[in-house]
Amino acid sequence: MGKLIDGDDGLLAENVGAWTKEKHEYLCRYVDISRAVRARWIGPDKAGATYIDPFCGTGRCKVRETGEWIDGGAVAAWKKSCAGGAPFTRVFIGDLDTQRRQAAAARLRQLGASVEEMDGAAAHSVQQIVASLDPYGLHFAFLDPFNLGALDFGMIKSLSKLKRIDILVHISQMDLQRNLLSNTRGDKSVFDQFAPGWRGSVDLAQHQSGIRRDLFQYWRDQIASLGVWPSTEMKLITGSKNNPLYWLLLAAKHELAHKFWATASNVEGQGELF
C-alpha cells in the first residue's frame, strides 16, 4: 500500500499509476453492460443486486503521471450503476486499512449508496458478507488486491456458494514473474493462499514459464471445480513501458456473464500469458 495523500474533496486519497484508470474503465464497462440484467433484481419485493469489494482503498486516486483525479473502483462502479438506471441495492466494502475503508465509505454515502463496511482480512470479510446476503439475489464481486499473496482462494470459495455471482479478479502477472523463484523454493509461499494444493500439481523441474503456466492453469481448474467458470478471455493491463502488470479475468456461473465480459473487455490483442 502506498502513502495516503489529501484528496481533492477533503478526504484521504491515494497516488496510483495510469494503469489504474484503465482497470477501472473495464470494471465500469462490465457494470454498465450488465445493467439490464441487474435491473431485474431491483425494486420492491426483489432480492436485490449487490456489489462486493474487499480491497476498496480510499475511493479516490490521483494519477501520478498526469495529476488527474479519478474515482476508486467501488465509487466508479457505484456511479456507473446509477448512470445506467440500475444502482446496486447494497454495497459491501472492506480494507485492512481502516482509514482507506472509512474514506471510501464516506464517499459512497455522499453519493447515496447503501454501504456496509467490513473489518479485517479480506477472506474473513467475504465470508461474513456471503452469510448476510439474500441467496436469491444477484451479486457482483471485484477482487482487486495489491499483490498476489492477498488473493486468498478462500474468498472465491466463499463467493462460489452464491447462486448468482460474477467475480472480476485482478491477477498480478508481475508477482508471478518477478517473485516466482522465491515462492517456489521455500516451505511457505504466497501461492499456498492463491492456489492451495498447487505443489502436488506443478512440476518445479521445468522452465519458469512452464511453472507459471501450470500454476495458473491449476488455479483456473480449482475455480472451475467450484462451479464458477473462469473466462477464457483475459484483459492484460500494461505499464507505461508496455510491461505486463496484471490480468483482469471474470469468473461466473452463467454463460451470459461471460458474453458480457467478452464485449466489455474487448480482448483482441491481449498478449501472451507468460
Given a cut of 50, whether residue 272 has pLDDT beyond it is no
> Which of 185, 6, 244 lies closest to 103, judged by CA?
6
pLDDT mean over 263-269: 72
210 pLDDT band (50/70/90 cuts)? very high
Identify residue 198 by its one-letter amino acid code: W
Cα–Cα dist 23/238, whole Å: 10
Name all domains of the chain by residue range, CATH numbers in brackets: 18-264 (3.40.50.150)
Given a cut of 80, whether residue 182 has pLDDT beyond it is no
pLDDT at 160: 97
Given a cut of 60, whether residue 271 has pLDDT beyond it is no
Per-residue pLDDT tens digits for 7-59: 999 999 999 999 999 999 999 999 999 999 999 999 999 999 999 999 999 99
- pTM for the full model? 0.94
pLDDT at 103: 98
pLDDT at 274: 46
pLDDT at 1: 64
pLDDT mean over 182-192: 82
Per-residue pLDDT tens digits for 226-259: 999 999 888 888 887 888 888 999 999 999 999 9
Query: 247 forms bridges with which residues in the sheet?
Result: 171, 236
**Structural contact between residues 249 and 171, judged by C-beta atoms closer than 8 angstroms:** yes
Q: What percent of the chain has pLDDT over 70?
A: 97
Per-residue pLDDT tens digits for 117-138: 999 899 999 999 999 999 899 9
Residue with cell 516451505: 187
pLDDT at 267: 53
Length of the chain: 274
163 pLDDT band (50/70/90 cuts)? very high
**Structural contact between residues 40 and 34, judged by C-beta atoms closer than 8 angstroms:** no
Cα–Cα dist 124/132, whole Å: 13
Given a cut of 90, whether residue 260 has pLDDT beyond it is yes
**Structural contact between residues 81 and 31, judged by C-beta atoms closer than 8 angstroms:** yes
